[in-house]
Structure formats: structure tokens, C-alpha cells
Amino acid sequence: MRNAFAKAITALAKQDERIVLLSGDIGNRLFDDFKAACPERFFNCGVAEANMIGMAAGMAMSGLRPVCYTITPFVTYRCLEQIRVDVCYHHVPVMIVGTGAGLSYASLGATHHSCEEMGMLRLLPDMTVLAPADSHEVSAALKAALQQAKPVFMRIGKKGEPQVHQAEPAFQIGKAIVLREGKDACLLSTGTMLPEAMAAAEALGADGISTQVVSFHTVKPLDDALLADVFQRCQVVATVEEHSVLGGLGGSVAEWLADHPTVRAKLLRFGTRDEFLHETCEQEEAREHFGLTASAIADRVKSALA
Amino acid sequence: MNAALTTASIASASELAELELAARQIRFKLVEMSHAAGTPHLGSAMSCVDILVAAYWRVLKLHADQPNDPNRDRFILSKGHAATALYATLATRGFFPTEWLDTFAKHRSPLAEQPAPGCAPGVELATGSLGHGLPVGVGMALAARIQKRDYRVFVVMSDGECNEGTVWEAAMFAPGQKLEKLCVVIDYNKWQATGRSNEIMALPSLVEKWRAFGWNASEVDGHDLGALIRAISRVPDGSGKPVAIIAHTVKGKGVSFMEDDNNWHYRIPKAEEVAAAKKELGLA
């Protein structure tokens, strides 16, 4: 996904001379093409993320379209107040891209995990929160984000994530993408969990449970129309994310549900628990630890329908 | 008013007398505003008045009737708690009606206790949370280079503000980019909210710190208008380095019973103190 980001931002910057890329001392060689094409618009901001966000805000106030990029916890938790005050309060078009989101860097330990940042950033007024599912969605989301003159946060994985889309999908911020139709259950997946959600739907289908799968790439603003539809039609709606069940997609949908008490479906939330992951493990094992696998998802949905 | 401000020549004695009167009038306005609105931070506002007068009267390339001109010099008052000093300066220079000052901090006034985004013509940044002005100013200076504009960026910070880590992140970044059109002025009044700034953290030597970070740093009497004009107007100075001016100031400057008394970080003047201040400032 990060390679797709680097390729897409380079292509966009060649067309739009307002685009500036700020990196927090990350992506060794990743941005060589960008640097070659637009050397005066690339800044390695060093290991100083708070300053990076403030500078980006200053650039955006001057008419540029800065994009800040580094590992997710450092470009979100570390500089949350700069994002809140310099970017959101001033309502300037700064884009923040967090790489290695969720449990992508499971093996590096909890300092590098980001299972709370969507919750934090979605609380900020004016912020858009995106979690594309694969590299095709990354390119599409980046284009859409730079077309709107607003603060945007986008979390992406690292590299080698399985592709779900065959090509770049039609992409609209706040409009989820239905990948598979179904009538009994609906899996709302955000970010890189989509292949697991697809596999879970496959398994449920084999058991006669018709399961819809949605790439719910925009966590804020929510796709209200889609939620209203699936909560009315299905018996179980599940959110699936590599993020805490508090505050992210699951938290958002739970809040939505509180405002729509008459709908039919029951909500299940798949995500990380309210704890730090202390185990030494790779991403796959971390997902198993939190019940974020196709089989665990299918089992819980099945029990909820029984 | 004629707000076509040009880069300063050294001001003549009569010009300096005029600026000194403007500074006294602004100081009295701040006392009145604090009294009328019941708002704190009067001492902090009083200490940076001469810096603002030097900049807005003699240095900044700014037109009050074109406050959003993309080529204007940028001035950021990063110590947002001294907002009254900025408001009174901008109003006096014609950016907005002076009557607005009478609404300060009242319900629905454009002028809040600390500036909101775009609250009034001439206000570049919402400040109040310390340590934000310099990173944003660095971004504006980089934008000038990318967009091939030749404006300068001035950021006024407090000494207490130098406690913030972002100040030093930006202080390290700007010289790396050779941002010679960027200038920091530190209103070094030796106090922060609840104590001596030199004791709360190891602030001294402030000038040596900025020098070590790669800035062309110098010290100046922050109440000597001629010296301030000379120091601020040398940006850019051709060295390829950003400029840091450590302005030695007195908190509460201009009113004897407020000077260097940190109670005036929070205290609000009573009616009789307003009258005494007017007399001391030679305006009664």
C-alpha cells in the first residue's frame, strides 16, 4: 500500500504544483521518484512530527496542499494537538497519511501499533477519516482526498497486502463500496481487514448464510444511507477493523445505532480489545489474538444468528 | 490611514517620539481593555508593545486595506495570551475600526481573549496554545520559497513559550532549510505564568541557544524602539540564516506598579489603577 501511495502522490504532484510531500524521516528510497520529479516540494522533516504538522498548516494557509507521511502513531498521537489546533481549527487542507496502521507493525511492539488513532482523529471537528482496503483504494482515496479542500487523515498498511479490487474502484468519500451482496448478515470492513471479511463471508455462505461485504473506507463521515439499508434488511451487522472496538468504525456505528433505535439488525464489533498487545508476534498472530480472522468472524456471526 | 509601510530607515528623533507616543497610547488601551473585559495577561501584553510598534509602524510590508495580499509580510503573535497588544496595534494601524476594541472579549465580539482563526483583518493565526507559531511560520516561509514570493515571516514568542518542544523542533529545522526570511523575536521578560522563566527551566543563555541552533541571534533592549527597528528590519541579513532577536523586556512595562510584578499575569486593574496608569503613561 505504501508503494501505491508513493506512486499515486508522485503522479498527482506532477499535475498539481500545490502538492507538497512532508515525510517524518521514513520511506528510505520510497519517494525517490517524487524527489526527482518535484525536488523543491519534498521535505524530510526529521523525527519531529509536531513541527511537521505545524509547518504543513502554515503551507496550507499559504495556498499549498501539503501531505504529511510517517508511521501512524507518530503522525497522529504524537502531534494530536497540532492536528487539532493548526489544521482542524483553522480548517486548512492538510492531508495526514499514517503508514503501517493498526497491527501492521505488530512485531515492533505497541509503540508502533495504532489501534486508537481513528477514534482520536474522528473526534476532531472537520476531520475526514479514511481507511482504504488495498492499494487500488489507496490511490483512489488519495485523489478524492486531495480534491476536497479539508483536513483528511488516511491510514494505510505497509506492503504486500492482498488486493481485493481488480482495478481502481469508483471512489467517493463517505460512500462505502459494496463488494458482495447478501441478506442475512453484513460485514462492514474498514482498512486492510477486507480480505478476512471476504473470506468470512465465503465461509458463512457455504453454511447457507447470505452475507454482504462492504468496504467501509470512510469512518468519518459515515455512509448514513448504507447503514440505514443494511441495519433494516439484515439480522446481523458487524464492523471489522484493525482498531479498538472503542471509538473507531465499531464505536462510530454504535453511536449511529443509538440515534436509530428502531432498526432491525444486531451489531457485532470485531476489533482489538481495550488493551495493549504485549505478546511478541507478527501481524497474523496479533489478529488471531484479537479474534480478527475469517474463521473467528464467521463463528461469531453464526452464533449471533442462531 | 496610510498603511503603506516600508522597510525602515533608521527613524529620526521626531519619528521615534511619535512611535513612543503610539506605544504609550496602546499600553493605556490594554489597561482599559483588561479593566473593561475583566481579562488577565495584562503584564504579558504590556511587555511586547514596543516590539509590535517597531514592526507594524516601521518594518512590515503590509497594507491595512489588503490584509490578505499573498505577498504581504506575515506577523504571528505566537504568545496568544497577549492578544490585546495585537488587537490594539492592528486597530491603530487601520486594519479594523478601533471601536472593535471596546467589544473585546464580550459576547460575539470578533476579538476573543485569544485570537480565533480569521477573527479580524491582520490576524494571521489563532494562537493561545504556546509553541504553535514558529512551526506554522516555518511552513509559511517554505511556502514563500516554493511559490517564489519574497515575503518575510516574523514570529513573536514569549520566553515561557520556549519551554515547548515544538519551538526547538522548528528552531532546528529552519536553519537546515536556510530560511533567511524568517525572524523570531523573543519577548524575554524573565517571567512565565507562575515563576521566573530562568529558574523553571534552564533558559539561559537564550541567545547562545538560538546561535547554537544555527540562527543569527542577537540581543536588544526590547523597549528601545530605535534598536528594535534596526534589529527587525535587517531581515533577511544576507547570511543565509534565520534571524533570532532576544528582546530583553519588562513584564508590565510602562506602569510602575505593574512592572516586573508577576501578579499582573492574572490581576485585573481596578478603576483607580486605570486612572493611575493613565497618569503614569503621560496621557491624563
> Per residue in B225-250, pLDDT tens?
999 999 999 999 999 999 999 999 99
Residue A256 confidence (pLDDT): 98
Inter-chain touch A85–B129, beta carbons under 8 Å:
yes
Inter-chain touch B166–A54, beta carbons under 8 Å:
yes
Inter-chain touch A62–B137, beta carbons under 8 Å:
no
C-alpha closest to that of A97 among A136, A134, A132, A63: A132
> Closest Cα of chain A to B139: distance in Å?
4
Whether residue B9 has pLDDT greater than 80: no
Exposed / middle / buried, residue A60 (Cβ in 10 Å: 0-12, 13-18, 19+): buried
**At A70, which helix (H) or strand (E)?**
strand A65-71
Identify whether the C-beta of residue B117 lies closer than 8 Å to the C-beta of residue A89.
yes
A280 sits in the region (left: phi over 0; alpha: psi -120 to 50; else beta) called beta
This complex has an ipTM of: 0.96
- Reduced to 3 states (helix: H, G, I; strand: E, B; else coil), residue B20 is helix
The pLDDT tens digits for B79-136 are 999 999 999 999 999 999 999 999 999 999 999 999 999 999 999 999 999 999 999 9
Distance CA B137, CA A184 (A): 55
Residue B11 confidence (pLDDT): 80
Distance CA B34, CA B37 (A): 5
Q: Which residues of B touch A90 (CB under 8 A)?
A: 117, 125-126
Which of the four pLDDT bands, split at 50, 70 and 90, describes residue B1? Answer: very low
Residue A27 confidence (pLDDT): 85
Residue B86 confidence (pLDDT): 98
- Reduced to 3 states (helix: H, G, I; strand: E, B; else coil), residue B139 is helix
The pLDDT tens digits for A284-303 are 999 999 999 999 999 999 99
Residue B40 φ then ψ, to 5° = -85, -165
Distances (CA, A) of A285 to A125, A171, A203, A282: 35, 32, 20, 5
Residue B10 confidence (pLDDT): 66
The pLDDT tens digits for A36-73 are 999 999 999 999 999 999 999 999 999 999 999 999 99
Whether residue B6 has pLDDT greater than 50: no
Q: What is the mean pLDDT of residues A224-239?
A: 98
Mean pLDDT of chain B: 95
Residue listed under C-alpha cell 524521516: A25
Q: Which residues of A touch B172 (CB under 8 A)?
A: 46, 48
Q: Rounded to two decimals, what is the model's pTM?
A: 0.96
Residue B5 confidence (pLDDT): 42
Residue of A nearest to B170 (CA): A51
